[in-house]
């Protein structure tokens, strides 16, 4: 009898515990279950899923606190949001790098055109040999580097070509510096301001004719 009573007590207590445990855990309502199912359907997130993740986040925010507590995969939605931001950052970096590479390529072409113009202006091409032309970009500033060897120094024809290049390249006038290097050392650095100082002085004396830009005068202006 005692054993029967003991088993009955155990049975009743177990039943009560089951009621407490399972009765208090409500099944998610339709709106909550929809959010749970949509989160599970996300799979591996890509940038194409950005609008979907944003919409899911908005829907989740409209749930009550009780409904939110029943969204047992909310962590997955947070991971999706984080992944989207990460992918957006990577895409922005890739675009910036692509634009920078394009800009470098375009200005390298312009630097080569400058070198060709200098070469074409030389009275004695063999006396001034251009070894290379390159471009370095620092923000909105452009630096062309012309490496050369010369038998006769920095002649008038070179100064003419460079200053005329600045006149013709108006869109680069205030952002471009042209550096000349020989034997591993910087020989001269010319920009629009240098040449303009020379123009302003020389054009007063020769307003209609072709101006020869004295290289010594230009280099003195630079110093």
pLDDT interval class at 152 (50, 70, 90): low
Find out whether 178 and 190 touch, Cβ atoms under 8 Å.
yes
Q: What is the pTM of this model?
A: 0.53
Structural domain harbouring 75: 29-109
**Is the distance from CB of 85 to CB of 116 less than 8 angstroms?**
no
| Of 59, 74, 109, the domain-final residue | 109
* Cα separation, 187 vs 65, whole angstroms: 73
Q: Kindly state the DSSP code that residue 154 receives in the 8-state scheme.
A: S
| Same domain as 204, residue 151 | yes
What SS3 state is found at 15?
Answer: helix
Kindly tell me the number of DSSP H helices and DSSP E strands found in the chain.
8, 4
- Across 36-56, average pLDDT: 93
Q: Are residue 90 and residue 52 in the same domain, yes or no?
A: yes
Domain boundary among 82, 109, 136: 109
pLDDT of residue 153: 64
pLDDT at 26: 67
Task: Give the per-residue pLDDT at 38.
Answer: 92
Residue 107 banded pLDDT, cuts 50, 70, 90: confident
Phi then psi for residue 142, to 5 deg, are -120, 135
One domain for residues 127 and 192: yes
Angle between helices 156-168 and 192-205 (to 10 degrees): 110
Last residue of a domain, one of 109, 131, 155: 109
Q: In what order do the strands lie in the sheet with 141-150?
A: 128-138, 141-150, 176-182, 185-191
Q: Kindly state the average pLDDT of the residues 25-35.
A: 84
């Amino acid at each position: 009898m005692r054993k029967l009573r003991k088993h009955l007590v155990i049975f009743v207590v177990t039943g009560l515990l089951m009621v407490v445990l399972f009765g208090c855990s409500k099944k998610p309502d339709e709106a909550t279950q929809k959010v749970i199912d949509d989160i599970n359907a996300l799979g591996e997130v890509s940038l194409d899923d950005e609008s979907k993740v944003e919409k899911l986040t908005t829907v989740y925010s409209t749930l009550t606190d009780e409904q939110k507590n029943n969204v047992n995969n909310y962590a997955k939605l947070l991971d999706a949001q984080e992944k989207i931001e990460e992918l957006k950052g990577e895409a922005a970096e890739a675009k910036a790098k692509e634009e920078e590479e394009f800009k470098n390529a375009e200005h390298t072409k312009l630097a080569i055109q400058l070198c060709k113009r200098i070469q074409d202006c030389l009275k004695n091409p063999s006396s001034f040999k251009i070894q290379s032309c390159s471009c370095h970009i620092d923000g909105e500033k452009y630096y062309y580097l012309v490496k050369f060897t010369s038998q006769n120094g920095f002649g008038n024809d070179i100064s003419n070509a460079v200053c005329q290049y600045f006149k013709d390249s108006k869109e680069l006038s205030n952002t471009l510096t042209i550096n000349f290097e020989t034997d591993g050392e910087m020989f001269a650095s010319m920009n629009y301001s240098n040449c303009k100082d020379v123009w302003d002085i020389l054009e007063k004396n020769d307003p209609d004719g072709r101006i020869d830009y004295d290289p010594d005068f230009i280099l003195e202006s630079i110093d």
